[in-house]
Amino acid sequence: MTIRALEKVSVGQNGIGAFILQCRKMDIHYCDYSGSSRGMNAFIKSQLSKFASTHPQIEFAVSPRPRKHPVLIGHYINGKQKSICVKNMDSLQILKKAELLRDASGEKIKKVNKPVTSINDSVRGVWSPYHGSGMPV
């Protein structure tokens, strides 16, 4: 008896095998003189270099925006972007927001109607009211 390999090619899923981080670039805008950028200036001086060195696959762009509130903008591989205003936040809160942008997928938040979603077909097949002997047509 010979053994045959499966003929179906496996479908690549993010998170199984090699994980690809969805965030590709993060823009950091701040003001040197504004009081609302005090936490962002502390974040840039103390924690940004460590955060950037632990995530070399993300490009970081730091640019001043005079007389504007500080903003974090995440650019994703699907072409979308998310921005978070971080005015009057301290450096630890801004670090949490940067991690939130890093972990996001770039997609809009959508309501989940079914508790389980799967890419695989159902074992039982698609249900129809005309199956079985319960309903005469």
Backbone angles phi, psi at 24, to 5 degrees: -110, -25
For residues 74 and 136, the model is more confident at 74
pTM for the model stands at 0.70
Helix (H, G, I), strand (E, B) or coil at 66: coil
pLDDT tens, residue by residue, 81-109 = 999 999 999 999 999 999 999 999 888 88
State the first-to-last Cα distance of the chain, in angstroms, to the nearest integer. 47
Position 29, amino acid = H
Angle at the Cα of 92 from the Cα atoms of 88 and 94, rounded to 5 degrees: 55
Please provide the size of the chain in residues. 137
CB contact at 8 A, 64 and 28: no
pLDDT tens, residue by residue, 42-56 = 999 999 999 999 999
Helix (H, G, I), strand (E, B) or coil at 131: coil
